[in-house]
A and B are shown apart, each in its own frame.
Chain A
Amino acid sequence: MSIHLALEIGGGALPDTEAVAVAEAAGCALVTINDSPLSPSPEAGVRAGFLARRTRRVGLAPTLHPALTEPFHLATQLAALDHASQGRGAWVVGTENSAAAQATIGGTPVSDLEQEIADVIDVARLLWDSWEDDAVVRDVASGRFLDPDRVHHVNFTGERFSVVGPLITPRPPQGQLVVLAPDTLTDKSDIALVAAPTLDEVAARAEAARAANIPLAFAELDVALGPADRGGSGRAESFFGGGRAGVGGAEGDRIDGGGAEADRADRDARLRFAGGEDEFRALLNRLEGIVDGVRIHPVDLAIDLPRLAVATRRGPVSGPTLRDTLGLPRPANVFAGEPR
C-alpha cells in the first residue's frame, strides 16, 4: 500500500467544501481540522459534521481539546460524527491549555496535561464501547427495544473527573474512531503524529511509536509546492542528503500565515518541503519506507492544494470507512463477552 496522506485544512484559507473536494480527489485518507476556542474559525467538530455529508470517502478529523471540554460531550460529538459520516470519523487530540483558552471556561491551565489527556482518551474509548454492536434487539414478543446487558456503565474515575456512562449514542460504525495524537504526548493513539525536523529523527521516533504499540506513524510535513519563486525548486534535493539539511527551502520568512507562537514552534519542528510536483512524489517515495503516512500542512492552502492534486496522481481512497482505508481493523468491544 502506498503512503497515506492526511491534509490539514483548519486555517480556513479555502472554503472547507472546496478544500475537502480537492483532498478527496487527490487521494487523501483524511483531512484534519485544527482548532482552538481562540480561533476565528467555526468550531472544528461542527465543520466536520457538515463535511460528513459533503464527502464520500475522505476521513474527517477535527481537533478537540481534552483540557477544555466535558469528556462525555467530546465522546458523544465524535460518535455522532462517525455515524453521520458512516465510519469516517477521527479525532486529533488537542493540547490547548493556555491561560487564555482556559479562561473561556472559567478555568486555569491544568498542571498535569498528559494525565488529563490520557484520562480523556481512556474514557472516550470506553464510552464508544459502552453500547455493544448488538445492543438493540427490537424484540416485539418481550417488549424489549434493547438488551440492558449489552449497554454498559463505564464507571470511569480519572485524576480530575469521573463518568458513569453509558454514552447516549450507540457504538460508532468504526467501533472506535481513529485517534491521532503527537507521539510525544501519549501512546494511546491509533496514529502517532511525528513532528521532527530531520528524516533521521522522524525515522527513529516512528520506530519508537511502533514499539509502543501505536499502529501507525505519520510524519508532520510543511509543504510549499511550485516554482522556484516560492522558496526554491531544487532545494528539495537537500532532503535527500539526510541530516538537518533535509528541509527544502527552509527560510523562516517563506512560511506565512502568522499563527500563534505555539504554531510557529510546531512549524520549526516539522519536516519542510519546497519544490515541484515530481520532487514531492520522490519525497513521498522516500518517506514510504520510514512512516505509514504524512500529514501535509500546506504553506498556503489556496496555492498548494491544487498542485497537490496534480502531484499525488491518485484517485479517491476506496474506504468505505477510514479504518478500511488505513488498514486498521475494527476493534473488538472491550465489554463484549462480559458475564451477562
Chain B
Amino acid sequence: MTTHRLHLGLFFTGVGPQLLWSQPDFANHTHIDTFIQTVRTLERGLFDAFFLGEGLRVRENRGRVYDLDVAGRPDAITQLAALAAETERIGLVATQNTTYNFPFDLARRLASLDHVSGGRAGWNIVTTDNAWTGENFRYGGWLPHERRYERAAEFVATARSLWGGDSVDTHSDLVNVTGSLGVTGNPVLFQAGDSPGGRDLAARLADAVFSANTDYDKAQAYAADLTARLKAYGRSRDQIRILPGAQVVLGDTEKEAAEKADWIQREQTTGPRAIAFLEQYWNKDLSGYDPDGPLPDIEPAEGELDPSRGTISIEHRTGKLERIAEWRSLGLSIRELVLHVTPRHNTFVGTPGGVADEWARYVRTRAVDGFNLVPQLLPGSIEDIVDRLVPELQERGVYRTEYEGRTLREHLDLA
C-alpha cells in the first residue's frame, strides 16, 4: 500500500479575531517584509502552499469600521506575484470570488500568476451573494443566493477553457465572455464552501477542498460524502485533495499545550469583542454592559442579523430571537457565552510528537490529505509548526523531506 503523505498549506487570513495582534512581538501583518519572512519560513518547512484570504469590504459593526480585529490586506494576486519573486517552490494560492470578478479578467490574472511563478498558482474559489460587499462594485448584489454556485460553475468552466487556449464565446444570464487568452496556464483549483452546493462544486471541478471538518469522525464522513459526489461526476477520490482548515497549539508537554490553547482562546475573546459579538445579534449599542456580567436584559432590535461583519453563514442570519432565548437559558456571562458558542474547533493541541501521531493516523486512513493551517501568533505559530512539528512528521514518514516537484500540481501529486 502506498504511504500517503500530508500536504500542508498556511492560510494567511489577514483579518479576524484569531490573530493575536496584542502580543508585543506580533509582526506588522500588512508589511511586505512580514509576508516575505512568512513564505520563506514555509518554504524551509517544505509547505505545499501559501494561501491568501480575500475580503472585499472592511468589516463593520453597526455602521462603523470594526476596530477590534486585525484588518487590512493586499490584493491577493498582486501580492502573490511579488512573493513568487522571493521563493522557488512553494505554491501560491489566491482566494478570489466568482461574484465580483469578471471571468476573463480573473482568468487572465491567475494565468499570469501561474506564468511568473513557474506553475505555482492556485485559486481558492469562493462565492458571495452579499449585497453589502457588493456596494464596492459596479454590479453590487446582482446575484441571487441560490444561484451563486451556478455562476461559480460557469465562471470556472470559462476560466478553464481560456487557460486551455480555447477561443471562448459563451453567453448566458450568468457569464458573458468573448475572447481568448494570450497566456495559458493550469492553476490548481481549491474550493472552500461546505454547503451542499459548495461540495457539489468541489466534486465537479476542484483539485482540492479546503473543508471545515477536522474532527476525525467528521473528516471521515466528509471524505465519504465527497467520494460519493465525485463518483456522480465520473471522478475518484484520488483526483482530489482534502485539506481542512486547522489551528495548531504546541507545548513541551500536553499540559503546557492545553494551557497555551486556553490562553489563546481567552486572548481572542476580549471583553470588547464579546460585546461586539452580541451587538451583531442585538443590533444595539451594548457597550454599557459588563462583559463578565449577565446577558443584556433589553430586547434586540427588529430585523435580521447585521451582515457587515461579513462572516455569518446564511443559516445563522435568520432565527436570531430563538437563538437569543436559548442563550439566555444557559445562565452564562457574556464572555463565557461567546467562548461557549464559538468553541475552539479545528484546533490540534499537544506536543509536537502527539500532534504528529494524530495527523499520521488521519492521513494513513485518508480521512484527510493534509491541513491548511491558520496561525494565531505571527510569526510564532508558523515557526512552531515548521521547526517543531514538521521534523516529527518527517520522522513518521508522512511528510516530504525535500521538494520533488516544481509546480503546485506536482507538490499535491495531482496529474
Contact = CB atoms under 8 A, between A and B. Distances in A.
Interface of A: 37-43, 45-54, 68-73, 76-77, 79-81, 83-86, 100, 103-106, 131, 136, 138, 140, 142-148, 151, 160-170
B64 A148 contact: yes
Given A42-B111, A45-B78, A145-B21, 6 more contacts: A38-B179, A43-B109, A73-B101, A77-B75, A143-B273, A169-B30
A169 B56 CA distance: 10
Given A69-B105, A84-B82, A161-B138, A169 B72 contact: yes
A83 B138 contact: no
A43 B36 CA distance: 22
Contacts of A84: 32, 74, 78-79, 82
Interface string B44-76: 000000000001111000001111111111110
B155 to A, nearest CB: 12
Nearest to A138: B21
B239 interface: no
Contact of B67 (A83, A100, A103, A148): A148
A48 B109 CA distance: 12
A55 B227 CA distance: 47
Contacts of A142: 272
Contacts of A38: 179, 182
A151 B15 CA distance: 15
Given A39-B182, A45-B109, A145 B71 contact: yes
Nearest to B96: A73
A20 to B, nearest CB: 11
Interface string B93-132: 0000000111011001101110110000000000000000
A72 B84 CA distance: 24
A100 B21 contact: no
A83 B32 contact: yes
B72 A131 contact: yes
A282 to B, nearest CB: 37
Given A42-B111, A170-B30, A50 B58 contact: no
B370 to A, nearest CB: 27
A173 to B, nearest CB: 9
A98 to B, nearest CB: 11
Contact of B100 (A47, A70, A104, A169): A70
A145 B104 contact: no
Interface in B357-411: none
Contact of B56 (A51, A71, A168): A168
A40 B272 CA distance: 52
A51 B81 CA distance: 8
Contacts of B138: 70-71, 160-161
15 contacts: A38-B179, A45-B77, A46-B77, A47-B112, A49-B79, A50-B116, A72-B137, A77-B78, A80-B74, A80-B79, A80-B82, A105-B177, A142-B272, A143-B272, A144-B68
Nearest to B182: A40
A161 B31 CA distance: 31
A79 B336 CA distance: 40
B270 interface: yes
Contacts of B66: 148
Nearest to B54: A168
B341 interface: no
A70 B179 contact: no
B183 interface: yes
Top 8 closest pairs, chain A to chain B, by CB:
A106-B176, A40-B182, A49-B81, A42-B112, A53-B85, A84-B82, A80-B74, A46-B112
A73 B136 CA distance: 9
Contact of A46 (B55, B116, B136, B175): B116
**Looking at B36, B112, B115, which has the most chain A CB atoms within 10 Å of its CB?**
B112
B15 to A, nearest CB: 9
B179 A104 contact: yes
A161 B136 CA distance: 9
Contacts of A39: 182
Contacts of B296: none
Contact of A37 (B21, B55, B104, B116): B104
B179 A146 contact: no
B271 interface: yes
Nearest to A150: B65
Contacts of B137: 70, 72, 161, 163
A151 B183 contact: no
B22 interface: yes
A177 to B, nearest CB: 12
B262 interface: no
Contacts of B177: 103-106
Contact of B58 (A42, A69, A86, A151): A151
B136 A164 contact: yes
A52 B22 contact: no
A38 B182 CA distance: 7
Contacts of A77: 75, 77-78
